[in-house]
Structures are given as C-alpha cells and as structure tokens.
Chains A and B, each alone.
Chain A
Amino acid sequence: MSRIQTTFANLAQQQRKALIPFITAGDPEPGLTVPLMHALVEAGADVLELGVPFSDPMADGPTIQRASERALKHHVGLHHVLDMVAEFRQRDAATPVVLMGYGNPIEAMSWEAFARRCAEVGVDGVLTVDFPPEESHEAFRHLETHGLDPIFLLAPTTREDRVERIAALARGYVYYVSLKGVTGAGHLDLSAIAEKIPQLRKHIKVPIGVGFGIRDAATALAVAKLCDGVVVGSRIVQEIENSMPDTVVSNVSTLVKELKQAVDQARGESK
C-alpha cells in the first residue's frame, strides 16, 4: 500500500477525516519550508500538499500568486522543491507528500526525470493543475512506472461521463474544487457540496478531499462532515504572509491545530 492509501485507511478505521494543508515551497523563504512541513504534521496534518512555484499561476487567486512570487524571488525551482522533500523525509517517513503545481516546470525537467526523482526523494502524489487527463498520457506512464499517484481535480462543472473517466485513472485521492473560481475565493456553498459528493461517489472509489473556500474551523468542520478530507490552502498561505519570519512556524501551527480540532469533530459522521 502507498503512503496515501495507508493514511486514508488508518483514518477510515478511526472514522476520522483527513486534514490536508497546502503551502507553497519556498514561501516566505526556502529555509522555512521544511520546518513548516514538520510543524504542519505536528499540528495534525494527515497529508501535505506542497505547491511548486510558477511564474504564471493561472488557476490561483492573489494570495497563492503572491506566495509563488515570494518563492520565485528566492529562485525556488522544481529541483529545490524535490530537495526539500528529501530533507523532510529524513525525519518523517510516514506523512504523504503531494506536489501541486503547473505542468511547465515538469515539462522543462522532463516527466521521466521528474518522476524518477520524486520516487527517490519520497513524493507520493502529483497534482498538475493544468494537465487534464486528455493531455496526460505521457505523464501517467512515468508516474505509474515510479509508483506515484496522479491526483485529479474535479469541479462542480465536471459532467458525469468525465467523472467516470477520471475515476478510472484516479489514485490516492481526488480533490473536489468546491466552488467556481480561483483559489482563495469566498462563498462556500455547503448544500451544493452535499448534493455533489454522493454523485461523485457513484464512480470515484478513492477518498474525496474538498478544497477551495475553507477559511476557518467552522467551514472546515462543515466540509469535513461531507467528505473524506479537507484541503486548506489560501488561509494558511495568508497566515504565512501576515507573520514575521520568527513567528511564522508557531502561527501556522496554531491555525492548523484549530483546523484539526474542527475536522476531528466530524469523527464518525457518515460519508
């Protein structure tokens, strides 16, 4: 079993939901990324999503765009991000790490070299925002060869026949984008999520994480009741942005502990 499968199996056994925080590698500075990753795990993160900085993050709102810009000021590229995961793995062999980003940095490295290096350093899953399954044949081949899970996005606008096709390819978990728009947008529509998740479950056999628009303990709890995992990105990145370098780790840790408590209150809620 992969680290992602093991993690979700353990959570399911305890009837708990996953907390999946996102940070951008290299934000606010490269030296803080690995300490932040460990702090996230200590505060209760079950899976880590690590953003790979990109110059043109088309699917992201201003908060995560600025995180990418801060990281790129320090010239943090895909090679550095992989090195960071290697360093993280020296102290943590259990927590799954998913790289999330855009395809071009991977294309520049080549999918083959990328997948090989991911396996070496202990990456578990890869979410390439702008590579839909239709364009990902080569990518999948290399990810599969190296035992990496392709993580897919599903959207409110994804039609059933597409859900079915994506279900056939999905490994690890899927990430349901809970609202139309870019990362960091407001207005979460819980009833729409409640309606959509059972439709997805008809086809999707891996756990379903929900993200976009989760801003605090209350929304985290409400969403956790409806699915298998809660992804929190912009809210955490905002905390990083608003913190001084010497307090950023403790501030993020405090926030994630609150979110964890909330997600754990959804324990036992039927899926």
Chain B
Amino acid sequence: MYNYPDSNGHFGPYGGIYVAETLMDALEELRTAYEHYRNDPEFIAEFEHDLRYYVGRPSPIYHAKRWSDQLGGAQIYLKREDLNHTGAHKVNNTVGQALLAKRMGKRRVIAETGAGQHGVATATVAARLGMECVVYMGAEDMQRQSPNVFRMKLLGATVVPVHSGSKTLKDALNEAMRDWVTNIEDTFYIIGTVAGPHPYPAMVRDFNAVVSRESISQMPDVAGRLPDAVIACVGGGSNAMGAFYHYIDVPNVRLIGVEAGGYGLETGKHAAPLTTHSPIGVLHGNKTCLMQDADGQIVETHSISAGLDYPGVGPEHAWLRDSGRAEYVAINDDEALAAFNNLCRYEGIIPALESSHALAHAAKIAPTMSKDTVLLVNLSGRGDKDINTVAKLQGITL
C-alpha cells in the first residue's frame, strides 16, 4: 500500500519543511487543522457537496474517437477537467483549501499564479465565501495571460504584479510567501500546486485526487476497462498527482508525466527538471529536483505555457520517478502547439497549452500502439485563456 509522505512530509529524500522560523508555527497550525478536517465527515461532506453543485463534478470522460482514428493506434480518452467551473482542475484544490481556511477562522486568502488558472480559482472561492483575496502574479505572466488577470479583478481579487527575478511563477511564489509571513494571523496561503512545505504537497494532492477517484470508476463504463496509461502534464504537478493518485497501487497502469520541453531539452530553455535529471535542491519550502546552475542559483525556465514554466516540481513526482512507479518525458513548445490545433480541429475542444503537452505525448505514442490500447489523458484545463498566445505565434493580432 502506497503511503507517502511520512509524518514529516518526506517522500523518500524529497519534500519536508524548509522555511524560515517565522513560518514554522503557521505550518504546524495548518498541519494540525488539515489532519483533523481531512477525517471530519462534515468537512468531507461539504467539500463533496461543493465539488458536485459548484464545480460541476463528476467531470465526464470523453472518447476522442475521431482524433484516435486519425492517429491510427491507441484509443485516447480525455478526463474533462476543462469542463469544471473556472475551466481547469485548479478549482478542486481551492474549494478544499478555502473551506479549510474558513474553518481555521482566516478572513483573508492569498495565492500565487502562473497561467492565472489557480488565481482565478482562488478568487472565485474567495468571492463565494466573502474573503479578501490577493493574488501574486509575475509581471511577464500578467501580459501572457491578460484575460485571466481581468477575470480575477472581476471576482473582486487584488492582483499584484511581481517584478523581481524572472517575473514568472517562482517569483510570484516568493512574493506570496513574503505576504504570508507578514500577515500570518489572519491570512491563509492557498498554494496552487503539489509543492511547498509540508503539508501542502499532500493536501493539494488529496484535494485533486478526486480526478483519479472518479476516473477509476468511470473507465470500466466508458472504455470497458481501466486505462493502460494515464498521461498528464507536469509543471508543479497538481493535475498529474490528482490524475495518478488512485492508480498508484493498481498494477499495469502506466503513469506518464509530461514536462515542458520548451525550445528543446538540448537548448537548455525548458522546464523539465525530472526528464533532465536536475540535481536535488531546496526551493519554496521543499526538497526536490531543481533546475539550477553550479552555484545553486535557480535558473530561468522557458515554456510556451505559463502554467508549466517552473524550475522545480512537486516532491512526490520526484519520488515517483525514483521509485520507478511513474515515468516522465518532455514535449517541446511546437509539439504542444500541434496537439493544441489538432484537438481543436478533430474534436472541437480548445485545450489549455499546459494540457496540450499531455495530449502531444499521447499523440506521439498512440500510433505505435495497438488499437485496443487505452490511453487516458487528463485534459486539465480549457484553452480560452491561451488564444492571445496562440494568435501571436501565428502572427495574428486579435
């Protein structure tokens, strides 16, 4: 029976709690509260109620038959997280954390965001629960994802541009941590991925695990059996952990995480720490594989998708790789873009650029497999937010 992390938040050599003393008490408070409420029937009932009636779960699994036929091999099924309220898997986690924040008596929530999906999902639940919401976002990401910035503002959140460092997700995380340590009494930090100090990686995974809990019971109805492989994109890795979790103990289901290959692994301009075997290091409260230089400075990453543009990865993914349970590959920007276009044309679904990485890997391996092979791709988000990026790449001004 898979049973990670240990009581101190370790996944083998990864994970843990690497923060300044000023945050230790808040993390202990959070750990105690989460340990209590995760087993509290009332909390679980409220969470499940909200997932059903507010988020719109369960999300369906759709057989992308036309695209599968065109690829001429394995059958591709899509877990439609893009149909959730707010358009991505991120809301599963923010609903859970916001309910926890409310029970802990916090009146203010903060979040970091890359693509803006987590920021929108946080602003959404904060509006619903009447909490103040501040979202930190890299200045560069704000440009790439301007529709999501406006969405957050409509929902009543304050979006704070972060100009330090590379002006992307990692810098937004730094800034959110600084806010948290300054406003620790009344503020709950809703981390959007399976990274950060314990208990965040486990907690964010647990809230997103609804994805695999559903799919493992849906697949026999939809496809007649469980999938041969589950494929999901990995930035920090929250949608992938959610999509993988309930399959970890199921033998013969391959778990494939797809990182951002950017301009190509050989160029160094990517965001694929697991595929490239980046060294172990410490960032944002946990030990994990990190893209860094010889001096231990975190390097700038590149991906066409803001949500994957992160130099680290959730510690549990590093552990699943080392233990051999999951495999990790990289998909380049242009391959992701091709899959984006193909899903639009063959299935009438505009996928997020993040999810397009998982789609691209499925498209790559499907033709090499028999027609009765079943691939389940986690379609983690919809692509409306990306139309400006894609248009620009095609030389079109909207």
Contacts and interface: CB of A to CB of B under 8 A. Distances in A.
Interface of A: 53-59, 61-62, 65, 69, 72, 75, 77-79, 102-109, 129-132, 134-135, 152-155, 157-159, 162, 177, 180-182, 185
Given A103-B18, A105-B297, A157 B282 contact: no
Given A153-B22, A155-B21, A134 B295 contact: no
B295 A77 contact: yes
Nearest to B290: A104
B72 interface: no
Contacts of B292: 104, 108
A35 to B, nearest CB: 23
Given A104-B283, A132-B17, 8 more contacts: A72-B297, A106-B296, A108-B294, A131-B18, A153-B20, A157-B184, A177-B21, A177-B22
Nearest to A182: B178
A59 B18 CA distance: 12
Given A102-B282, A153-B22, A108 B296 contact: yes
B181 A180 contact: yes
B26 interface: yes
B24 A157 contact: yes
Nearest to A158: B21
Interface string B63-87: 0000000000000000000000000
Interface string B254-297: 00000000000000000000000001111111010010101111
B22 A54 contact: no
A59 B20 contact: yes
By secondary structure, the B interface counts as mixed
B280 to A, nearest CB: 7
Interface residues of B, number: 38
A155 B25 contact: yes
A182 B182 contact: yes
Contact of A129 (B20, B26, B183): B20
A131 B152 CA distance: 34
A78 B177 contact: no
Interface in B119-136: none
B17 A58 contact: no
Most buried by A among B183, B282, B290: B282
Given A58-B177, A182-B178, A132 B295 contact: no
